[in-house]
Amino acid sequence: MVQSECWLLRGVLGFICLFLMCINAAPDLCKPLKTVQEALNITKRRHFMKMNFPINYTIQVHYEEVFKLRNISRLNMSNDEEPVLKRDLQDLWLTISMEGIKKVLRVLPERHPTRQKYLSNLENLFRNVEAVYIQQIPKNDEREIPERIQNIFDRLKEKSNEGWKSVTPKSILDNCYRTMLCLFKECFTKEDDSYDYCDIHWRKGNKTT
């Protein structure tokens, strides 16, 4: 009896050790996000997404792809029947950001400097984020996505020209950058950092625009 209990105890301890090892081996989402943050710094956004394009150049995107801090605030408004989780907003941010990059790439010639020296690499960085994100934050398949979030995903798939908007290539990455700091602020906020990155009026040094 004592021997059986001893083996059982060893089995439990072994499981706990294995579990702790798996937790420690889990990929850190902040690492690829900080790499994206570096690639989205204001100097690169201005150079590759503004100066390398004709003046007032715009592309067509879905209205829902203009994803700003205001959209996050609006979607976060309380709804007891269908609460929006942070995961829902992060899913939306990742989808919209990657699609925005693809839309700019589609209009760029193969030898365009923004494609070769910047945007193709940025797309790969986002794929790294997506891979870690899926592994670290698994979806709850039993939970239904809130209707207001699902409606946005559905509209993003529509092929009609209704509800489209003209935006500059730089504005796509500007919004991507600001909303990333808000939705993943635990990766970017320091102890002495009093800024609320979800505040639509925040400005901080080289983190503006």
pLDDT digits (tens, 9 = 90+) for 7-65: 444 544 444 444 333 333 346 999 999 999 999 999 999 999 999 999 999 999 999 99
Cα-atom radius of gyration of the chain, to the nearest Å?
21
Q: What is the pTM of this model?
A: 0.81
CA distance 121 to 9: 50
Q: What do you get for the CA distance between the two ends of the chain, in Å? A: 69
Residue 55 token pair = 């003046």
Q: Is residue 24 part of a domain?
A: no
Residue 40 DSSP code: T
Amino acid at 38: E
CATH of the domain at 79: 1.20.1250.80
Q: Cβ neighbours of residue 42 under 8 Å, at least 6 residues apart?
A: 206, 207, 208, 209
Q: Cβ neighbours of residue 197 under 8 Å, at least 6 residues apart?
A: 178, 181, 182, 185, 188, 189
Residue 82 DSSP code: S
Residue 129 token pair = 């984020």
- pLDDT above 70 covers what percent of the chain? 78
Total domains present in the chain:
1
Q: Is residue 19 part of a domain?
A: no
CA distance 207 to 209: 7
Q: Is residue 46 part of a domain?
A: yes
- pLDDT above 90 covers what percent of the chain? 63
Q: Is residue 65 part of a domain?
A: yes
Range of the domain at 120: 29-207
